Amino acid sequence: QRIAAVLAHEIAHVELKHGMNSMLRQLGFTVLVEFALYYLELSPSQAVRAASLALVNAVQSGYSREAELEADLLGQQYLVLAGFDPAGMITMLSNVLDLTDGEEQLDLFSTHPPTTERMARLTEQLLDCWTVSPLTEPLIVQHTDPGLDPLGRFVLQEQLTEEGQWQLRGFDHQRALDLHWLVNEEARYPMWSADGSRLAVLVKQQNTWDIWLLNRLGRVVNKLACQFPNQPWNLFFSPDGSMIAYNYLSDSDEPHILVHYINGNFNLNFSNVISGLILDWDAEGLIVWDDGRQQHYLIQPPPIQPLFIANPIPRVIQRKPRATPIVGENGDSGFSIIRPNFFSFD
């Protein structure tokens, strides 16, 4: 998905003719500077010329940053049309931000806009890739215990201690042992992924709440730093385990719907589109009950077409199975040994 995002971004540059426009703009600015130096009768010294070129580069960088934003947005649209996950571009930028430890060189001559700004614009457009539609047919929702391991080994639930804190307790059927995971943390709303490989838990950190991911042995493998001042609830994994949906109570007491992309570690907030209580996340999408409209809705992510490559590595050089010298007759003089040829070219 990330490789496709990079390719889509570069294809968008070509489609929008950013390279040609940049070259023509640079040429035009240079000609204007030369005419200005001539008509103003300024000394064409190295200092004056360097200052002029610096001004040209500063103006050109502004156009370049805008071109990068345009290529991001158009490239994301290309991802949707090609059947790739449009979130891949945001995930790619998130990885870039992680590699730089969140520090960016922001100056007048930067050719790229801040990574956080690019991610914010792409996230806003990603929200438009989801579809929200009312459900007109009868709805059947199968409720299961979110703390019940799909593989049948563990049962986990939240328990309120005498000190008034929520703890994660459970039982291991395979070993017939009681479980007490995240001993020193206040944890709520355990939710298993569909394949039982990960457990999502709300964990309180001082005055905020984060989502932690645990493996099947109860070890923390990822901390999604959400930092919610109010406590979210109603966690649901997507069927493929790449996203987590949950409700969050706003200041106006409306249940907002948020979807967290695990790989990119970013949120989609549907508060401007729809609000309501999440009932389930099945193969069709998120099922939501809008109490104000007295209506069920289906929230669907952008369709993704899996890409299968039968032979991703072309066989240009093929190794021969025989690597021993060849002994052959050489007329009347006897025998000859021929050096083996290890490779053949198709």
Give the Cβ contact number of residue 255 at 10 Å. 20
Instruction: Report which residue type is found at 106.
Output: L
> Which of 137-141, 147-151, 271-275 shows the lowest per-residue confidence on average (mean pLDDT)?
137-141
Tell which of 96, 129, 162 closes a domain. 129
Instruction: Check which CATH number belongs to the domain holding 174 and give it.
Output: 2.120.10.30
Last residue of a domain, one of 300, 318, 334: 300
Strand pairing of 243-249 and 255-261?
Answer: antiparallel
Position with higher pLDDT, 63 vs 89: 89
In this model, does residue 193 exceed pLDDT 70?
yes
Mean pLDDT, to the nearest integer, of 231-259? 91
Determine phi and psi for 193, rounding to 5 degrees.
-75, 165
Residue 258 lies in a domain: yes
The pLDDT of residue 53 is above 60: no
Instruction: Judge whether residue 320 has pLDDT over 60.
Output: no
Look at residue 163 in the predicted model and tell me its pLDDT. 87
Please tell me the predicted confidence (pLDDT) of residue 108. 41
Same domain membership, residue 107 and residue 11 = yes
Is the pLDDT at 201 greater than 70, yes or no? yes
Q: Are residues 203 and 115 in the same domain?
A: no
Q: Is the same domain home to 78 and 190?
A: no
pLDDT at 157 over 80: yes
| Average pLDDT score over residue span 120-136 | 93
For 305-314, write each residue's pLDDT tens digit. 866 666 666 5
Name the DSSP class of 148.
B
Cβ count within 10 A of residue 239: 15
Of 121, 140, 131, the C-alpha closest to 74 is 121
Residues 17, 92, single domain; the answer is: yes
Clarify whether residues 161 and 294 are in a common domain. Answer: yes
Q: Could you tell me what percent of the chain has a pLDDT over 90?
A: 43
pLDDT on residue 109: 40
Same domain assignment for residues 58 and 179: no
More confident residue, 164 or 45: 164
pLDDT at 41: 56
pLDDT of residue 345: 45
CB atoms closer than 10 angstroms to residue 87: 28
- Statement: residue 208 has pLDDT above 50: yes
Q: Are residues 276 and 168 part of one domain?
A: yes
135 in any annotated domain? no
Domain-ending residue, one of 129, 146, 169: 129
- Domain membership flag for residue 307: no
Number of domains in the chain: 2
> What pTM was computed for the model?
0.75
Q: Return the CA Rg of the chain.
A: 30
Token code pair at residue 139: 């709805």
Confirm if 245 and 191 have CB atoms less than 8 A apart. no
Does 186 reside within a domain? yes
On whether residue 54 sits in a domain, the answer given is yes
Residue 103 shares a structural domain with residue 197: no
Cα separation, 5 vs 72, in Å, equals: 9
Per-chain mean pLDDT for the chain:
80
What sign has the CA pseudo-torsion 41, 43, 49, 50?
A: negative
Does any domain span residue 308?
A: no
CA 309 from chain centre, in angstroms, equals: 22
**Co-location of 183 and 62 in the same domain:** no
Evaluate whether residue 142 is within a structural domain. Answer: no
- Whether 160 and 287 map to the same domain: the answer is yes
Do 272 and 160 belong to one domain?
Answer: yes
Residue 149 inside a domain? The answer is no
- Say if residue 161 is in the same domain as residue 292: yes
- Higher-pLDDT residue of 28 and 243 is 243
Query: Which residues constitute the domain of residue 173?
Result: 154-300
Strands 154-160 and 131-134: unpaired
